[in-house]
């Protein structure tokens, strides 16, 4: 059985999807973009600032569901330009100092609201 996870501490879904779904001890976190949930606007700044907001949003969803970054087993990072990879990776890596998850990173043609980064995650309890 699946459980919808929702928190006002992360941006609300703006389409037919959920912030996250929990099923069978696994949490599937939808791609998070650097939107401040208080203002509904993209945070200003470079990919470093945007990645910090993305990770803050993801953390709020993980916490709401009773998970932490230590539970994340897989992530996918989408970048508007691979030239931003190193800066994104520095911020991302600060959240996974031990036993980082499996990961893929891609440059894509465009991201919602013209952001520089979007990250989705899968977490597992146990």
Quick: pLDDT tens for 60-94.
999 999 999 999 999 999 999 999 999 999 999 99
According to the model, what pLDDT value does residue 14 have?
84
In whole angstroms, what is the distance from residue 123 CA to residue 79 CA? 21
Would you say the pTM of this structure is higher than 0.75?
yes
In whole angstroms, what is the distance from residue 9 CA to residue 25 CA? 22
Give the CA-trace dihedral at 7, 9, 13, 14, to 10 degrees. 150
Neighbours of 121 (CB within 10 A): 26
| Alpha helical stretches, state H, 10-112 | 47-65, 85-94
Q: Could you give the 3-state DSSP secondary structure of residue 79? A: strand
Question: Which residues make Cβ contacts (< 8 Å) with residue 39, sequence separation at least 6?
Answer: none
Structural domains in the chain, CATH included, are 2-124 (3.30.1330.40)
Quick: pLDDT tens for 39-66.
999 999 999 999 999 999 999 999 999 9
């Amino acid at each position: 059985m699946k459980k919808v996870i929702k928190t006002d501490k992360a941006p609300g879904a703006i389409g037919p999807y959920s912030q996250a779904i929990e099923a069978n001890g696994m949490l599937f976190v939808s791609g998070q973009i650097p939107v401040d949930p208080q203002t509904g606007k993209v945070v200003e700044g470079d990919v470093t600032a945007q990645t910090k907001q993305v990770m803050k949003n993801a953390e709020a969803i993980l916490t709401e569901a009773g998970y932490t970054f230590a539970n994340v087993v897989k992530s996918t990072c989408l970048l508007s330009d691979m030239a931003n990879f190193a800066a994104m990776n520095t911020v991302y890596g600060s959240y996974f100092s031990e036993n980082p998850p499996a990961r893929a990173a891609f440059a894509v043609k465009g991201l919602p609201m013209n952001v520089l980064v979007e990250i989705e995650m899968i977490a597992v309890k146990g």
